[in-house]
Amino acid sequence: MPILVMKFGGTSVADLTRIRAAAAKVRAEVARGHDVIVIVSAMAGRTNELVGWVNETSPMYDAREYDAVVSSGENVTAGLMALTLQEMDVPARSWQGWQVPIRTTSAHGAARIEGIDRAAIDAKFTEGFRVAVIAGFQGLSPEGRITTLGRGGSDTTAVAFAAAFEAIRCDIYTDVDGIYTTDPRISARARKLERISFEEMLELASLGAKVLQTRSVELAMRYKVRLRVLSSFEDTDETSGTLVCDEDEIMESKVVSGVAHSRDEAKLTLVTVEDRPGIAAAIFGPLAEAGVNVDMIVQNISEEAQGQDPREVTDMTFSCPTDQVARAQKALEAARDRGEIKYDKLEVDTEVSKVSVVGIGMRSHAGVAARMFAALAADGVNIKVIATSEIKISVLIDRKYMELAVQALHDAFDLDKAG
């Protein structure tokens, strides 16, 4: 029988009532003729509770024991889901990550999936079981220890199973009914998309859209796993939600498909850095080693050369999440103390946000940047930094203008209208 993967997030399995509702959706797919692999998250709030217990018990915790504790939330949900399905006369069995096994790297707290052994689950399907319920977010290291995949890892688990079992589709059930052209909390005219390409979804996820985890979209794009995002709290059918698919499945795309935003960004500028070959590597190497997620980068002539030849110095500006600013400052100061870089001062602005327009139609249409900048200028929004890719244009602006900018761009590209 064809295999369908269904993933239920924490809010979808928050209590027994919601677990029963999710199980009813699984039973409906079994009735349609599918064998189903269900991936479950921990009940809403449970992972935070477990992390809190670990931190309270041992602030300098052993990462292996952290994973042993934190992964338990998914185990509870998996068992309850299997029991609920059995009560509905659906032959089901639960599996923890080590039982499959889901083989991962040894990076506790941020492991990556290296392989899934499908033999045991295939055997259960052959015996007549119709549903395998898998605890998401976890796996087994080469050393035989439980690992976790990092926040949002259940999405990655679901896509990995869909790829390994050549599933017809991977349905991600969550608390929203699909992918929207922008955040509906900001724009009342945000429109749900019927389809979006892997590349567009990857850009939106990396730029701040919280519906799908970035790693799961990367994996889906690599293995051509068709994803569908839909609501756990509504009646659904084959046309519900938003399909994330290959570009070839989208007949005609708008120039811009969506507007994304990231509220908590920071802009850092190294003033009067010596302009020489290798300076960028000397700056961004230590930042990478410190785990700073650098995004937008701009290099320009320094206005504060103060007697120095302006051809020999430059200003280097980049952005990163606000919660990584202290780490970035420490890494740059350490590099200066070691004599690897020289700069007069480090300017930090933590009151900025990133707003981006995304669309595969940009590849074949000119004038998108001009239209974007004109829309922002019309509303008095000043641009601090610009970054572009083949299907994305991002700008850094003052945070107080973020919602205004999102709405202005949504209107400028007529994203409330289909076609």
Q: Where is the binding site for substrate, in residues?
A: 47, 74
Instruction: Quote the CA–CA distance of 51 and 90 in Å, as a whole number.
Output: 34
Handedness of CA 146, 147, 148, 153 (dihedral sign): negative
Phi, psi at residue 330, to the nearest 5°? -65, -45
Could you list the residues known to form a binding site for ATP, using ranges: 7-10, 174-175, 180, 185, 210-211
- Output phi, psi for 78, to 5 deg: -60, -45
Name which of 396, 379, 377, 376 is nearest 388 in CA terms: 396
Give the long-range contacts of residues 79-83, CB within 8 A, separation 24 or more.
Answer: 80/13, 80/16, 80/19, 81/8, 81/13, 81/19, 81/22, 81/23, 81/26, 81/38, 81/40, 81/133, 82/131, 82/133
Element (H, E) at 158: helix 153-164
How far is Cα 3 from Cα 25, in angstroms, rounded to an integer?
15
Taking the C-alpha atoms of residue 104 and residue 98, their distance in angstroms, rounded to an integer, is: 10
* 272-286 per-residue burial string, b: 16 or more CB within 10 A, e: under 16: bbebeeebeebbbeb
- C-alpha to C-alpha distances, 55 to 58, 60, 280, nearest whole angstrom: 5, 8, 37
What is the distance between the alpha carbons of residues 265 and 33, in angstroms, rounded to a whole number?
47
Question: In whole angstroms, what is the distance from residue 14 CA to residue 333 CA?
Answer: 45
| Positions at the binding site | 7-10, 47, 74, 174-175, 180, 185, 210-211
